[in-house]
Amino acid sequence: MRVARVVIVAASALGLSFARDARADDATFALSVDVAPDTDGKPVRDAAWIDAQIEAAERLFVPLGVHFRWRRTHPLPARFASLATRADRDALRPHVQKHAISVFVVNELADVDEAGRFRMGVCWHHGKDGTRYLIVAASARPTVLAHELGHYFGLHHSKVVDNLMSYSRADGEVFLDDAQKSTVKGRAALYLRTRALPDVGPARSFL
């Protein structure tokens, strides 16, 4: 429980740091971030690492009127430290939170289609009910959460180097093109209209 308190305090500071850029018509979506333990029982990634992932996402989404607030965190059971199969990914379903984007940070995330290959992240659709949630590996580079959030907001993969939705990087600034920006805005509006994801208020008002 001590880990959870430390993470939540860091999240509060994060929310405050982005409030200066908020506009009156912006929407803020809650992130529920649960972290698996390593072999010593410590979180596979700490609050600073999660902060950096969210900050990278904010840099790309805030100009579109989309903010993210780290709302809660719980430690995951040890069995989720390494996910090898589709069933392993599906087993996270009971930990998904309503009215938030659920993010699960694990130590290893195996490719379920290619043996011996590992992924840095995935926007997963549960095999039976289609519930979506994000899984991010401890090995993820700084923009992986942003990439998976891109999928959550309706974006597909791109082959353009340094595009957020591309696997190819050339050390340039990561970006979204105009069509992608329009898609994100449209999906955000849909989430709000259908109440699939509520606006949880100004970024500075951390819950």
Helix (H, G, I), strand (E, B) or coil at 123: strand
pLDDT at residue 201, as a whole number: 84
pLDDT at residue 13, as a whole number: 38
pLDDT at residue 205, as a whole number: 33
Give DSSP secondary structure letters for 16-41: HHHGGG--TT-EEEEEEEEE-B-TTS
Helix (H, G, I), strand (E, B) or coil at 84: coil
* Domain 2-143 -> CATH class: alpha beta
Which amino acid belongs to residue 98? K
Q: What are 39-64's pLDDT values in tens digits?
A: 999 999 999 999 999 999 999 999 99
Start-to-end C-alpha separation, the chain = 18
Q: How far apart are CA 51 and CA 46, in angstroms?
A: 9
Q: How far apart are CA 19 and CA 11, in angstroms?
A: 13
Task: Please report, for residues 14, 69, 72, 105, 114, the alpha-carbon distance to residue 204 in angstroms, rounded to integers and kept in the order given.
Answer: 9, 9, 15, 24, 42
Locate all alpha helices (DSSP H) within the chain, ordered by sequence. Answer: 2-18, 47-61, 86-90, 144-152, 178-194
Q: How far apart are CA 26 and CA 88, in angstroms?
A: 36
Assess contact for 34 and 103: CB atoms under 8 A. yes
Per-residue pLDDT band for 192 (boundaries 50, 70, 90) equals: very high
Rounded to 5 degrees, what are φ and ψ at 70? -75, 105
Assess contact for 169 and 161: CB atoms under 8 A. yes
The predicted model scores a pTM of: 0.87
Residue ranges per domain, the chain?
Answer: 2-143
pLDDT at residue 23, as a whole number: 55
Sign of the CA dihedral 102, 52, 7, 35? positive
Q: How far apart are CA 167 and CA 49, in angstroms?
A: 21
Across 106-122, average pLDDT: 96
Q: Does residue 168 surpass a pLDDT of 80?
A: yes
Q: What are 75-94's pLDDT values in tens digits?
A: 999 999 999 999 999 999 99
Per-residue pLDDT band for 127 (boundaries 50, 70, 90) equals: confident
